[in-house]
Amino acid sequence: MEPSAALTPTSYLVLGLVGATGPVTSYELKQIVANSIGNFWPFPHSQLYAEPTRLVRAGLLNEKAETSGRRRRHYTITSDGRRALVDWLAEPAQEPSEIRDLGLLKLFFLSQADPHLRHKLALEQRASHEASLRDIEILHAAISNVADPWQRKALEVGARFQRLAVDFWGEVADELKPARRR
Amino acid sequence: MEPSAALTPTSYLVLGLVGATGPVTSYELKQIVANSIGNFWPFPHSQLYAEPTRLVRAGLLNEKAETSGRRRRHYTITSDGRRALVDWLAEPAQEPSEIRDLGLLKLFFLSQADPHLRHKLALEQRASHEASLRDIEILHAAISNVADPWQRKALEVGARFQRLAVDFWGEVADELKPARRR
DNA sequence: GGGTACATGTAATCAGTTACATGATTTA
DNA sequence: TAAATCATGTAACTGATTACATGTACCC
């Protein structure tokens, strides 16, 4: 009954997914994540097994294990769990966004890189973000009829960011090859 | 001499900063991070104490401790460290970008929130990103003459993302209040 | 000269990551 | 029926977070 210290983002991810979809197994959570938020906020599948266990212990989820065959565990949200989720949704999100990008970290130290490799890095990054953008667009099209509209909307941020990154690295590439410009 | 397993992003952050600035203490690393990449990729200061210790053990940094007073430890990069840094900069960064944003996570589950609170969430998020954008712009202006140009450029991504987020949440707010649109 | 803020670090805990491992299904 | 591949999970490790703790300088 005690509020179990503090819930992590992973907790709320699981809580929200279980709350939205009814009885699910960890494997199904994994699938859902891979086709949605996992595109820009990865959660390793082991967490999607570990976290429900914690939430059950905290009284926020119910677990119903199959008694034969694969003995999968199906989770549903409890009333305490629903309350925790709704409370969290109601309170303002003050933590600032985080962007973790190794390419950006390299840009940060670009002055220390071999000059010949700088332009190459920019082109590689642009290409990589272009590929990510295509992936997200394909995914977005594929889920256009199934998922919750707000889930689709959230996915859009991923696509927009990838576009931003493509433009950005394009500019960086240009700045690194000024002689090449017309 | 062994390459010490694998270096984390935090390792490269420290390696790059020490490589760029010469002898620094953990506290100075903390300051630098706070005024730059820490704006969108936070590294708690305890890591900036722990990580140099690891890098010294791996032979990538040198440590020189003061013998009196505060006994601060000043770090410099070794030739092995410089080589590790340059090698890392040369190899392509394939790991995809990550965006971690609790506001987006809430959007993801917005259908499960009290309808009265949805519009409020959007407005709060927009305001919050506006504030972040202002902070970054102030910072960007403040460092315009000091920092490495590529470090400034990297910071721009943070600003652009905040602008993207302001626009995005503005749209969400509009969609949540269609009746209000004249 | 006591308080307050800055500076510098360590300790404890735990989430998160990586790696391993085995059970079911499909397919060639 | 062997071999992939998908499905389902656990174990071990350690980086990351949180909290604590003390030292130094400044200011009122």
Contact A102 B117 (CB under 8 A): no
Torsion of CA B147, B149, B151, B157, to 10 degrees: 130
Would the pLDDT of B119 be above 60?
yes
| Helix extents (H) in chain B | 9-21, 26-34, 45-57, 79-90, 102-108, 115-142, 149-176
Which nucleotide has its C1' atom closest to residue A49's CA? D9
Contact A100 B124 (CB under 8 A): no
B139 lies within 8 A of chain A by CB: no
Would the pLDDT of B29 be above 80?
yes
Q: Pull the structure tokens for residue A129.
A: 């973000």
pLDDT tens, residue by residue, A108-134: 999 999 998 999 999 999 999 999 999
Q: Please choose, from the candidates A4, A11, A134, the residue with its C-alpha nearest in 3D space to the C-alpha of residue B105.
A: A11
Res B93: pLDDT = 85
For residue B112, the distance in angstroms to the closest alpha carbon of chain A comes to: 7
For residue A73, the distance in angstroms to the closest alpha carbon of chain B comes to: 23
Contact status, residue B26 vs residue B51, Cβ threshold 8 Å: no
Residues of chain B with C-beta less than 8 angstroms from the C-beta of A108: 16, 36-37, 150-151, 154
**Rg of chain B on CA atoms, in Å:** 21
The pLDDT confidence band at residue A142, using thresholds 50, 70 and 90, is confident
Contact A89 B117 (CB under 8 A): yes
Side chain identity at B94, as an amino acid letter?
Answer: Q
CB pairs under 8 A between A and B: 206
Contact B107 A172 (CB under 8 A): no
Give dist(CA A143, CA A131) in Å, integer: 19
B29-53: average pLDDT: 94
User: pTM of the predicted model, to two decimals?
Assistant: 0.91
Q: Name the residue facing B20 among A109, A125, A157 (closest C-beta).
A: A109
Residues of chain B with C-beta less than 8 angstroms from the C-beta of A178: none
Q: How far is the CA of A5 from the C1' of D17 (A)?
A: 14
B17-44: average pLDDT: 93
| Helix extents (H) in A22-112 | 26-34, 45-57, 79-90, 102-108
The pLDDT confidence band at residue B23, using thresholds 50, 70 and 90, is very high
B22-33: average pLDDT: 93
B11 lies within 8 A of chain A by CB: no
Give dist(CA B94, CA B91) in Å, integer: 9
Share above pLDDT 90 across residues of chain A, in percent, rounded to a whole number: 77
Res B146: pLDDT = 72
The pLDDT confidence band at residue B22, using thresholds 50, 70 and 90, is confident
Q: How far is the CA of A153 from the C1' of D14 (A)?
A: 36
Q: Which of residues 40-99 of B touch A (CB under 8 A)?
A: 40-42, 85-86, 88-90, 92-99
Give dist(CA A113, CA B142) in Å, integer: 26
Q: Please choose, from the candidates B124, B155, B125, the residue with its C-alpha nearest in 3D space to the C-alpha of residue B138.
A: B155
pLDDT tens, residue by residue, B108-118: 999 999 998 99
For residue B62, the distance in angstroms to the closest alpha carbon of chain A comes to: 19
Would the pLDDT of B5 be above 70?
no
